[in-house]
Chain A
Amino acid sequence: MTPNPAGAVLAGRRPERLPVAPVFGADHAAARAGVPLRDAMTDGDRLAGVLLAAHEDYGGDLLVVFSDVTVEAEAMGATVRFSPDLPPHVAEPAGEIRKLDPERDGRLPVILRAAALARAALPPDLPVLVSLKGPFSLAVLALGMDRLLALAIEDPPKARDAVLAAAESQEAYVAAIVRRGGIPLIGDPFASGSVLGPGHFEALALPGLAGLVFAAHRTGSPAAIHICGDLRPVQRLVHRAGADLLHLEQADFAAATAAGSVVLGGVPTDVFLRDEAAVRAAVRAAANTAPPGHRFILGTACDLPTRADPELARAMVDEARRLPWSP
């Protein structure tokens, strides 16, 4: 059997074919399986079930275990609202940041159970990335955006303390993910260059990201970071976090690989709400603009939209596998 090309790339080897991965979360996987979102997001077996079913259908070279962005904030006491057809959102922030026990608190055990099941079900060299929130985004979701963003300017030491408290809590989650055989994928949407400038990124987002990457490395695991939106204003700082894999949207991929990371991305997610021709064209365009060398996994720039047509995810993988490739 051919070795998994995404695993090869992450291990620093040349893959035998271009690795490809439509990235999706529980919302998409549950919707396509006809499972109510809330059920998939609150039950580890069902979460693993819908994710694995979508993975098997699409045939990507890696799997991301991702439920939604509110998991840790909810465990800290935020009120989270679920609705039938949308990912949940924070209706009322927790107002505080407290240290979580990933084996016990909120839905963290649900995610860890899904991670363990997914790991056991898939070939050992297929990377299973498990999503957790970056400390800055977790602090925003737990304390409220207005409060944290205003503190960032009006009382920077307090803002830094809040983010560091979030990072300390996430360290235990990183270790728990690695124990399940998952690779921590630190998602930090509020640290996007669409929201934060370099000054605040460096002061508030970078220390926590770097700390969590180091926490993963200490256990011998690689670590990944996902930031969507326009990364360019903060990209050189993101490289300093030392992640092995960067899952990015608007960014300079060549600079990221030159800085030593594998890049995952290239295909904008809005094409999955159009048609097959648009998806196939986007895959070819992504391959044409791929960074030099073999540090690239052709993936969706962010998660597949909830209602994306599964046919289009299959077309993405099929098109990537047709591309000419010289190992």
Chain B
Amino acid sequence: MDAPPPVLEDLARSVLELDREGAVRAAGEALLAGVPPETAITAGLAEGMRRVGERFAAKVYFVPEVLVAGRIFYAAMEVLAPHVARQPDAAGTMVCAVVEGDFHDIGKNIVKLMVEAAGFRVVDLGKNVPAERILEAVERERADLVGLSTLMTPTLDRMARTVKILKERTSAAVLVGGAPVDRAFAAKIGADGTAPDAAGAVALAREFAGRRRR
């Protein structure tokens, strides 16, 4: 098997080292070297974001670093995206939101970034989102997955109500997360799964999107 072109490692490393100029330059170099842009995105930029997620989990990186890595990811994407011959099928579509009553969106933003970097189309409805608006978006976007987040114990009830409505009215897999959410709670409210962090959310999203395609 051919060794991967070094420019892919440059892309991944630039995202990881929060080097915006480096990432944009490497994106251009990848195109000049004839690397398919799809490969540059998945094996370069997305790989960089995956490593960012590892550093975040290890408490080497914190929230500002992850948000800036996300901005760098999108800056380099802007160079690559126009050259993608055909928009590749997204790994799946996820609608994500912080449930009604809760304005904590830092964790949701990180989950969104990581899921998007893993190749999903993500429709972000923001924070304090009523169940009905989530339902409407899931139907409109034909979403495969829903990602719900909450950080507050009092809003767990609203999460439960949202999951109930979505499970009754759609076939989307519903993933839930946030500090007060654990497996027992997720199972009790009928959610399809939960993960303690963004990397876990990506793994779950892959698993459920894969199941729906089979």
Interface set of A (CB-CB < 8 Å, partner B): 86, 89, 145-146, 149-150, 152-154, 193, 195-197, 200, 233, 270, 273, 305-307
Contact = CB atoms under 8 A, between A and B. Distances in A.
A270 B180 contact: yes
Contact of B18 (A86, A153, A307): A153
Closest 9 CB pairs of A and B: A197-B62, A149-B64, A153-B68, A89-B103, A195-B63, A152-B64, A270-B153, A273-B153, A149-B67
Interface in B147-192: 152-154, 180
A233 B101 contact: no
Contacts of B67: 146, 149-150
A196 B63 contact: yes
Contacts of A305: 152-154
Nearest to A153: B68
B59 interface: yes
Given A86-B101, A195-B106, A270-B180, A149 B63 contact: yes
A153 B64 contact: yes
Given A273-B153, A273-B154, 4 more contacts: A146-B67, A195-B63, A196-B64, A305-B153
Contacts of A146: 67
A273 B153 CA distance: 8
Interface string B123-167: 000001000000000000000000000001110000000000000
B104 to A, nearest CB: 10
Contacts of A89: 103, 128
Interface residues of B, number: 20
Contacts of B152: 305
B71 interface: yes
B125 to A, nearest CB: 16
Nearest to A85: B101
A53 to B, nearest CB: 22
Contacts of A193: 62
A19 B128 CA distance: 38
Interface string B50-73: 000000000111111101100100
Contacts of A150: 64, 67-68, 71
Interface of B: 18, 20, 59-65, 67-68, 71, 101, 103, 106, 128, 152-154, 180
Contacts of B68: 149-150, 153-154
Contacts of B153: 270, 273, 305
A243 B148 CA distance: 38
Contacts of B59: 197, 233
A270 B180 CA distance: 9
Contacts of A307: 154
8 contacts: A89-B128, A149-B64, A193-B62, A196-B62, A197-B60, A197-B62, A270-B153, A305-B152
A143 to B, nearest CB: 13
Contacts of B65: 153, 197
A25 B171 CA distance: 42
B68 to A, nearest CB: 4
Nearest to A88: B103
Contacts of A306: 154
Nearest to A196: B62
Nearest to B62: A197
A315 B34 CA distance: 70
Contacts of B71: 150
A154 B65 CA distance: 10
Contacts of A86: 101
A237 B36 CA distance: 47
Contacts of A145: 106
Contacts of B103: 89
A140 to B, nearest CB: 10
A146 B70 CA distance: 11
Nearest to A198: B62
A196 B106 CA distance: 12
Contacts of B64: 149-150, 152-153, 196-197, 200
A152 B68 CA distance: 9
Nearest to B155: A86
A199 to B, nearest CB: 9
B62 A195 contact: yes
Nearest to A233: B59
A160 to B, nearest CB: 13
